Amino acid sequence: MLYQIPSFLLDVIAGLFGGACLLRLYMQYHRVPFGNPLGRFVFAITDWLVLPLRRIVPPFRRWDLASLIAAWLLVMAKFLLLFLLIGAGGRYSVLPILSLVGLMQLTVSGLTALLIVYAILSWIHTASSMLQDLVARLAEPLVRPVRKLIPLVGGVDLSPLVVIVLLQIVAIVLGDALGWAYALGR
């Protein structure tokens, strides 16, 4: 219990701030305007870390590398604090690898949540059109390739479900990779 509670709280904090950095990266890549409430929220909670990094790390084409590095650093800080909590000894050399796998897990979780919201909003016709448009602009690039392969079934688009299943398979692989990376430091 003394490990589970701090671990949970660190997961929530790193997930919120790291996920916001990844969402910032994803929104900028797809050129989604930030004038909406979600965009303003993302800027508000990520500027403190992304803007100083942007002075050092320039963007690469449409990729905001400062946002990506900020998310990675947040995940690394989470693992570092967990290591300090359990007294991990000499395992600190695996932190960059653990953080990379953790960042990929956070990405998969964020994309899964996005697709769940996308699917739910497609059923609710009274939802805000601004919110529906924003979520659709972010989710469409993920479901469009699958939609070309899987036709509508009884008028229902199953492509978000298929992509969620594929993302969960990736999450399982990443979970094993995290265990493998952690074992490297032993």
pLDDT in tens, 104-127: 999 999 999 999 999 998 888 776
| Model confidence, pTM | 0.92
Chain position carrying tokens 């009274």 = 126
Which residue type is seen at 10? L
Separation in Å, CA 171 to CA 9, 80, 115, 178:
21, 22, 15, 10
Number of neighbouring beta carbons within 10 Å of residue 9: 12
* Sign of the torsion formed by the C-alpha atoms of 32, 39, 61 and 97: negative
pLDDT in tens, 32-81: 989 989 999 999 999 999 999 999 999 999 999 999 999 999 999 999 99
Q: Is the pLDDT of residue 128 over 80?
A: no
